Structure 1
Amino acid sequence: MFRKQGSTTKEGIMTITASAQPQQRQWLAQLDLTFSQTAHGSRLSHIKRNGPLSVQKAFYPEGPDCAHVYLLHPPAGIVSGDELYITAKTEQNSQALLTTPGANRFYRARENEQIGHALQLQDTAYTVAANSRLEHLPQETLIYPNANAKNNLTVNVDKQGVYLGWDVISLGLPAIGKEFEQGKFEQLTQIYIDNKLAIHDRLVITPENKLLLARAGLANKPIIGTFYITAPSKLTDKLAQQDLLDALRLQVEDAELNKHVSISLIEDVFVIRYLGQRSAECKKIFIALWQTTRQALYQSQVAQPRIWLT
């Protein structure tokens, strides 16, 4: 069910009401996925979809125990009034990796006389069960100048589960010299471990708060990357956590990216941040850190999603 404003009929059915004006074009889209462990490995056992969100069949470049699934949004971007809701759940002992075939886009917002620049929303919620693993590794998200974008992510991880997830945000289109001078971008990430809030991370960029330009803010660097890693049951003591932290920091140092990347450990969650000028640089170091983490947690080589190579 869409998690948005609505009303309940006397029969107990929730009816959805659009937040944009009815005469404006908009997409309300929903995608719900469930992954289960079967005798044949991890399988995408349930799909529910409405609107322009879908998936292809699962791929298995790592073998049957990890399903790689591509999240597809055929419009290729989010415009004014669009609301996308994505949920995924890994049941016990299942493993899933979610990615996208290309960049996501929040386009320039349309202006409406009554409501101003209509909101563009993507809301994602993941649930990770005991002894399961969920990886959320999308391509970058482009925030066009004059967008009015809101990007929410909520993750609830069982203490015996593993979550690895990143986002790479491009404010404006720096590759072609279009800066994010006007518009609004808001991002909220919340990570729960055993239903207890471990990470609450909110970012709001507007012309008024000057956070993009301020030296104490983003220092006019348009590429923001954040990579979250939590695996409490795999890193059961402080020594194991410190070993992984040292390995990741050494990798950043070897790549000569200390000025752009920081790594912290907060409430059993590794928080890796990139701030710089190039999304390709951010993705490259995130992939390398992801591979190191996978090796540390599972002592096995990792196969990159095939779509990244096309």
Structure 2
Amino acid sequence: MNYPTLTHPTTLTQATTTGWHGSLQLEFARDPRGTHLTRSFVQAPLKVQRPFYPEGDEVCHLVTLHTAGGVVGGDRLSLDVTLHPQAHTLITTAAAGKVYRSNGQTAQQTVQIRVAESACLEWLPQETIVFDGAQYQQDVRIDLAENALWLGWELTRLGRTARGEQFLSGMWRSRTQVWQNDQPIWIDPQRVEGGSEMLTSLHGLAGCPVIGSFAVVGRSLSPEIVEKARSLWQPGTGAINRASSPLPTPHSPLPQIGVTRLTSGMLCRYRGHSTLEARRWFTQVWHLVRSELLNRPGCNPRVW
């Protein structure tokens, strides 16, 4: 099948003087053959790979990529995703995202998602590495119709800790809001300032460079599913990861997690030292939710 794609390349002059102004617009529809990408508009440096179907035609897997390798101050990225009724799509990224040290300007990413009635979007990007000195702001809005479902996670590492780098300056901001039937059902603003007390306070990040959130929003979940999600966490692995952390401190706690039942879903939080550890737990919870809500086993994207 041919998938229509409109490409408006950004010139090198524009990219180097005012930052990349990348755009990605995607639409998915369901027909008797399954879910298909029916419209794709891309503007560099954002691109998409050809859809693939490891689970059969009902679920469309799509991988997005940033061809410039990362964002810098002044970059503005816009993603717009629409799922029509009963469509089911899984979107991930080809590699970890990178936010480089700022030149004084803020890098911005805006994501607008619309999920129509009885449709489901699994939004599972790989982690984002925020360099020391980066200035980054992300705004995500998800609009759900009746009986629509959104499963999404966000994993962030503050500083290139593998190289001994800490997040001593800069700013990371992320705001996610989910609306259903024109009513807000979950709003999650987050802000971390480089070098602030919040990074080391026990009431903040407590020296943990990795934070993560995984939300399932759009349908009510039973208390039993919430308890199962908690039980999937294996705290014993945290001690190993902490001991091998490039920046261990005597006051750094073991990784911590939390699971909260929302009015229309569930929220999982992670605070620790390892994106691998966080994603391992998030993936297990994701498999659980898939089985319980979608009657479908887990199917990890091939790029992970």
Q: Same fold (TM over 0.5)?
A: yes
Identical positions, percent: 26
TM-score normalised by L of structure 1? 0.84
Contact 1:223 1:275 in 2 (8 A): yes
Distance 1:179 1:56 in 2: 34
Q: In structure 1, give the amino acid aligned to 2:272.
A: G
Distance 1:97 1:27 in 2: 26
Contact 2:255 2:270 in 1 (8 A): no
User: 2:10 matched to which residue of 1?
Assistant: none
Matched, 1:107 2:88: no
Contact 1:62 1:302 in 2 (8 A): no
User: 2:245 matched to which residue of 1?
Assistant: none
Measured against aligned partners, the alpha-carbon deviations of 1:177-211 in whole angstroms (never above 9, x if no partner) come to 10101111111111112221112211111147522
Equivalences, count: 276
Distance 1:178 1:256 in 2: 23
Q: In structure 1, give the amino acid aligned to 2:61.
A: H
User: 1:275 matched to which residue of 2?
Assistant: 271
Distance 1:22 1:164 in 2: 33
Q: Tell me by how many angstroms 1:24 deviates.
A: 2.5
Q: In structure 2, give the amino acid aligned to 1:218.
A: L
Q: Tell me by how many angstroms 1:267 deviates.
A: 2.3
User: 1:79 matched to which residue of 2?
Assistant: 72
Gaps spanning 5+ residues in structure 1: where?
Answer: 1-20, 111-116
Measured against aligned partners, the alpha-carbon deviations of 1:96-118 in whole angstroms (never above 9, x if no partner) come to 000001000110111xxxxxx10
Contact 1:198 1:269 in 2 (8 A): no
Matched, 1:249 2:245: no
Distance 2:149 2:214 in 1: 14
Contact 2:25 2:80 in 1 (8 A): yes
Q: Tell me by how many angstroms 1:22 deviates.
A: 9.8
User: 1:218 matched to which residue of 2?
Assistant: 205
Gaps spanning 5+ residues in structure 2: where?
Answer: 1-13, 239-253
User: 1:34 matched to which residue of 2?
Assistant: 27
Taking only aligned residues, the RMSD between alpha carbons, in angstroms, comes to 1.9
Matched, 1:301 2:294: no
Contact 1:128 1:161 in 2 (8 A): yes
1:163 to 146, 150, 161: 150
The secondary structure found in structure 2 opposite 1:145 is coil
Distance 1:100 1:275 in 2: 22
User: 1:113 matched to which residue of 2?
Assistant: none
Matched, 1:189 2:170: no
User: What is the 5 A alignment of 1:120-139?
Assistant: 120-139=107-126
User: What is the 5 A alignment of 1:53-92?
Assistant: 53-92=46-85
Measured against aligned partners, the alpha-carbon deviations of 1:206-239 in whole angstroms (never above 9, x if no partner) come to 147522122211111110000010242xx4xxxx
Against the structure 1 CA distance between its residues 192 and 256, is the aligned structure 2 distance closer, same or farther, given a 3 Å change threshold? farther
Against the structure 1 CA distance between its residues 49 and 285, is the aligned structure 2 distance closer, same or farther, given a 3 Å change threshold? same
TM-score normalised by L of structure 2? 0.86
User: 2:243 matched to which residue of 1?
Assistant: none
